[in-house]
Amino acid sequence: MTSLLIKHAYVVTMDDHHTELPDGGLFIRDGFIEQVGNSADLPSSADEVLNLEGHILLPGLVNTHHHFYQTLTRAVPAAQNANLFNWLKTLYPIWARLTPDDIFTSTQTALAELALSGCTTASDHLYLFPNGSKLDDEIEAGLQFGMRLHASRGSMSLGESQGGLPPDSVTDKEDVILADCERLVQRYHDPKPGSMTQIVLAPCSPFSVTGDLMRESAKLARKYGLHLHTHLAETEDEEQFCLQKFGHRPVGYMESVDWVGSDVWYAHSIHINPDEIAVIARHNCGVAHCPSSNMRLASGIAPIKEYLAAGVNVGLGVDGSASNDGSHLLAEVRQALLLSRLKEGITGYSLSNDPNRKLMTAREALWLGSRGGAAVLGRTDIGSLEVGKCADFYAINLNHLDYAGGALHDPVAALVFCNPRNVDYTVVAGKFIVKYGHLTTVDINNQVEKHNRAAKRLMSS
Ligand SMILES: [Zn+2]
Is the pLDDT at 274 greater than 80, yes or no?
Answer: yes
pLDDT of amino acid 226: 98
Distance of CA 205 from the midpoint of ligand 1 (Å) = 9
pLDDT exceeds cutoff 80 at 357: no
pLDDT > 80? residue 355: no
Span 19-36, average pLDDT: 98
Buried b (16+ CB within 10 A) or exposed e, 391-411: bbbbbbbbeeeebeebbeeeb
- Expressed in angstroms and rounded, the spacing between residue 344 Cα and the centre of ligand 1 is 25
The CA 189 to ligand 1 mean position distance, Å, reads 22
Quote the DSSP letter at residue 361: P
Please state at what angle helix 135-145 crosses helix 100-116, rounded to 10 degrees. Answer: 40
| pLDDT surpasses 90 at 347 | no
Please, what is the average pLDDT of the chain?
96
At 407, the pLDDT band (50, 70, 90 cuts) reads confident
Distance 125 CA to ligand 1 centre (A): 7
Q: What is the pLDDT of residues 117-126, one digit of tens each?
A: 999 999 999 9
Rounded to the nearest angstrom, the distance between the alpha carbon of 291 and the centre of ligand 1 is 12
Task: Please tell me the predicted confidence (pLDDT) of residue 456.
Answer: 96
Interval between CA 290 and ligand 1 midpoint (Å): 9
Gap from CA of 298 to ligand 1 centroid (Å): 14
379 CA from centroid of ligand 1 (Å): 21
For ligand 1, the distance from its centroid to the CA atom of residue 267, given in whole angstroms, is 7
d(CA 394, CA 311): 28
Average pLDDT score over residue span 190-196: 98
Residue 395 has pLDDT above 80, yes or no: yes
- In this predicted structure, what is the pLDDT of residue 358? 86
**Average of per-residue pLDDT across 51-75:** 97
Residues with CB under 5 A from ligand 1 (ion): 319
Distance in angstroms (rounded) separating the CA atoms of residues 365 and 433: 24
Alpha carbon of 231 to ligand 1 centroid (Å): 6
Mean pLDDT calculated for residue range 231-252: 96
Residue 352's pLDDT is what? 60
- pLDDT of 351 strictly over 80: no
Is residue 25 scored above 90 in pLDDT? yes
Residues 6+ apart with CB under 8 A from 459: 73, 76, 94
